[in-house]
Amino acid sequence: MYQYDSYDQSMVDARVAEFRDQVQRRLAGEITEDQFKPLRLKNGLYLQLHAYMLRVAVPYGTLSSRQMRLLGDIADKYDRGYGHFTTRQNIQYNWIKLEDAPDILADLASVEMHAIQTSGNCIRNTTSDQFAGAAADELVDPRPYAELLRQWSTFHPEFDYLPRKFKIAMIGSETDRAAMKLHDIGIQLVKNDAGEIGCKFYVGGGMGRTPMIAPVIGDFVPPLQMISYLEACLRVYNRYGRRDNKYKARIKILVHEIGADEYRRQVEEEFAHILTLGLEPPAAELERIKGFFEQPGFDANASDDLDLSDPDFALWVDQNTHAHKQTGYTIVNISLKPTGGIPGDASADQIRLMADLALEYSFDELRVTHAQNIVLPHVKKSDLYTIWQKLDEAGLANANLDLISDIIACPGLDYCALANARSIPVAQKISERFADLGRQRELGELKLKISGCINACGHHHAGHIGILGVDRKGVENYQLSFGGSEGADTSLGTITGPGFNEDGVVDAVEKATDVYLAQRTEGERFLDTYRRIGMAPFKEAIYAKETANG
């Protein structure tokens, strides 16, 4: 777990005091909204449809139980008893009062948290693999590198006013669980044949109105030059990014317009220059940071044996746990997707319960996933049944990880000022339509993602099934797409054709799953079948006219 040093703490405390003064001056009428708006956004405070919304940064999705408990307390004390975990592994509160915001930030600072870098055209909070430091398939623990990146990017004066926001993901496994290639920069820690660690840089990916998959720009950057290479990537973008046009200002457009080869050439040139400046943090600093992420004190005698005689428990274990690198331990995924619920929402009591479970059973650690779920990364298998029972009592034991009801959905028009259509009601109807867990498991892995506008916070481009809400003359309409993916086989979904109303898109999803079940071959997921047979059979089914006798 990261730890603030005195510099971190004093910077964050100073920022709280500064914002408290800014809020007081705004409330006193001493500064206008035009003057105040960029200041509040720099502190993660948005004005949404119904109230102010505060987005709190969760560094690479990692939380201690003390931090998680405070997030629950904030929900009770300052909001309306719940929080919403987001696709950038953060949490946001929907009902914040301006006058309370400085107190909330002060509370957050007391547990080494803040809301900086959650808005604006800066380097946003870095995301990572939610199984970091725990997954059996991990090559290198990415958290020390992500922490170095956090320290480098926080308040970086050169990159505080970039052409647009900038999102970085960092992983250390073969399996990409962080949608790395759909970020402005994705960094994958890899090993070469000699066993040396290097950073593979993917630059220029993204979703939004112009989705793009990032090409490889740097094949194998030594870890002790990672920051210098990042500086070079950012400098070239900062110099040539399209500040004249908001819709063409992301780095993906620059890389696309000048081409990956030319962008790489310029980065390499800048990189060579930066190496002469000695900007790279000393190796000792990375080693110091690594000390924060030592393996916890695992029980070397822990057993892999599990009593699976309770069928509901067995289902949950099969669906919601993941292989851990340590014998006798497992990774627990807590689904925040109850049938008919709001994806990513958790009540204050649920948040505190998860904090308690982490403290007692997971070496005081939790992770937020970009799929809007929570992870207990280090759970002894002998504790699993007890944990499952406690989760079940709290409505947190839905065994639907990566199934069709494990839906990613942005807040949509129910909360978001940018949205064109509601996302959550569609997610609720789909999860209710497919409520039967046996049916979901029969369908297997099926990632369904919903966005309420083209900004794609719900990652619809990367959904095996994606849904995009649009405004058609003041009426909500939903475009359907198939074939998106965010992992090692990253691909962008293809729109099926004309859109649907809310009920129509739920029906269309069901018809698409029927096509899949009829056409799949052994071992194929929905995505695999779609890729093999193409759009035509799906399109035929979902746009078929009903006959007179049904």
Partner 1 sequence: MKIITGNDLRTGDVIWWTGQGWSRLVNDAVAVGEDADAIIAQENDKQVVTDTHVIDAETTSEGVRPAHIKERIRALGPTVRMDLSLKPADPAAAKWVI
Q: List residues binding partner 1 (CB under 8 A).
A: 26-27, 29, 32-33, 47, 49-52, 80, 94-99, 342, 413-415, 419, 422, 424-425, 428, 471, 474-476
| Closer residue to partner 1, CB minimum distance, 99 or 257 | 99
- We find the least distance from the C-beta atom of residue 463 to partner 1, in angstroms, to be 20
- We find the least distance from the C-beta atom of residue 37 to partner 1, in angstroms, to be 9
- We find the least distance from the C-beta atom of residue 47 to partner 1, in angstroms, to be 6
- We find the least distance from the C-beta atom of residue 432 to partner 1, in angstroms, to be 13
| Closer residue to partner 1, CB minimum distance, 147 or 476 | 476
Q: Is the dihedral of CA 40, 41, 44, 48 positive or negative?
A: positive
Q: Exposed, middle or buried: residue 409 (CB in 10 Å: 0-12, 13-18, 19+)?
A: buried
Q: Is the dihedral of CA 536, 550, 464, 436 positive or negative?
A: negative
Cα 14 to chain centroid, rounded = 28
What contacts 43, CB < 8 A, 6 or more positions away?
15, 19, 101, 105, 115, 116
- Nearest partner of 190 among 230, 219, 148, judged by Cα: 219
| Closer residue to partner 1, CB minimum distance, 22 or 173 | 22
Instruction: Check: CB of residue 211 under 8 Å from CB of residue 204.
Output: no
Q: How many residues does the chain have?
A: 550
Please, which residues bridge with residue 481 across strands?
A: 466, 495
Please, which residues bridge with residue 50 across strands?
A: none
| Closer residue to partner 1, CB minimum distance, 33 or 244 | 33
| 3-class DSSP assignment, residue 260 | helix
| Closer residue to partner 1, CB minimum distance, 33 or 522 | 33
Instruction: Check: CB of residue 407 under 8 Å from CB of residue 398.
Output: no
- We find the least distance from the C-beta atom of residue 80 to partner 1, in angstroms, to be 6
| Closer residue to partner 1, CB minimum distance, 61 or 412 | 412
| Closer residue to partner 1, CB minimum distance, 34 or 244 | 34
| Closer residue to partner 1, CB minimum distance, 35 or 192 | 35
| 3-class DSSP assignment, residue 51 | coil
- We find the least distance from the C-beta atom of residue 95 to partner 1, in angstroms, to be 8
- Nearest partner of 151 among 126, 172, 169, 184, judged by Cα: 126
Q: Exposed, middle or buried: residue 284 (CB in 10 Å: 0-12, 13-18, 19+)?
A: exposed
| Closer residue to partner 1, CB minimum distance, 77 or 539 | 77
Structure-token pair, residue 191: 């090993």
- We find the least distance from the C-beta atom of residue 52 to partner 1, in angstroms, to be 4
Q: Exposed, middle or buried: residue 498 (CB in 10 Å: 0-12, 13-18, 19+)?
A: exposed
Q: Which helix (H) or strand (E) holds 169?
A: strand 168-171
| Closer residue to partner 1, CB minimum distance, 272 or 417 | 417
- We find the least distance from the C-beta atom of residue 420 to partner 1, in angstroms, to be 8
Question: Other CB atoms closer than 10 Å to residue 536's CB: what's the count?
Answer: 8
- We find the least distance from the C-beta atom of residue 141 to partner 1, in angstroms, to be 38
Structure-token pair, residue 294: 């030592």
- We find the least distance from the C-beta atom of residue 537 to partner 1, in angstroms, to be 33
| Closer residue to partner 1, CB minimum distance, 32 or 276 | 32
| Closer residue to partner 1, CB minimum distance, 273 or 472 | 472
Instruction: Check: CB of residue 252 under 8 Å from CB of residue 205.
Output: yes
- We find the least distance from the C-beta atom of residue 36 to partner 1, in angstroms, to be 9
Residue carrying the six token digits 């000792």: 284
- We find the least distance from the C-beta atom of residue 30 to partner 1, in angstroms, to be 9
Written in H, E and C, the secondary structure of 325-384 is CCCCEEEEEECCCCCCCCCCEEEHHHHHHHHHHHHHHCCCEEEECCCCCEEEEEEEHHHH
